[in-house]
Amino acid sequence: MKKSIFYLAFFLFTAPMVMAQEFNVGTNVITAGVGFGGSFDYYGSPSQSPGFSVAYERGIWDVGGPGVISLGGYLGFKTYKYGSVYNGAKWNYTIVGARGAYHFNGIDVDGLDVYGGVMLNYTFLSYDNNYNYGSSYGSTFGVTPFAGGRYFFTDNFGVYAELSYGVAYFTVGVAFKF
């Protein structure tokens, strides 16, 4: 049974990588997603929120070969909690970033957009506990690779899945193209 689930997951995540829908110069996309997993839990906390994110990108450059480069922005948030109400701690991570991606247009499949890129970001970290409320530490700059795919059911509405090392390892959500 475990092998069947693995093969199904492998097919669902690799099949979109072989196909693509054109993403053109001037195309705008806004995504909103919920992410799972994450790279910020340094303390093994038993409680965490999903990662929430919103991103915007616009097709900027048509490159030689089958593809378009896009630029855009990103905002993500995630919380980790440790301990009890009376003796606990909470870490809030907010990521703000600028993203650049390559959208592969090599194979024409209606409704599918496959992309990969990198994000330059700043992570704001705030920490609260029962003894020291509202302190900030550990905020830092970072570089985050990502890869994903979007499937549009209509000309303007679709869903997406993305692998990343940002606010979450795996994010799914909705996409709006205009």
Q: Hey, where are the domains in the chain?
A: 2-177
Cα separation, 92 vs 136, whole angstroms:
10
pLDDT tens by residue, 69-91: 999 999 999 988 777 666 777 88
**pTM of the predicted model, to two decimals?**
0.78
Average pLDDT over residues 135-142: 77
- With tokens 């609260």, the residue in question is 128
- Please calculate the CA angle 154-32-56 and round it to the nearest 5 degrees: 85
Q: Which fold has domain 2-177?
A: Porin (2.40.160)
* pLDDT for the residue 34: 96
Instruction: Using alpha carbons, select from 164, 149, 154 the residue that is nearest to residue 104.
Output: 149
Task: Report the pLDDT value the prediction gives residue 132, as an integer from 0 to 100.
Answer: 60
Backbone angles phi, psi at 138, to 5 degrees: 75, 5
Region of poorest pLDDT, from 25-34, 42-51, 114-123: 42-51
Q: How crowded is residue 36: how many other Cβ atoms within 10 Å of its Cβ?
A: 12
Whether the per-residue pLDDT at 104 is higher than 70: the answer is yes
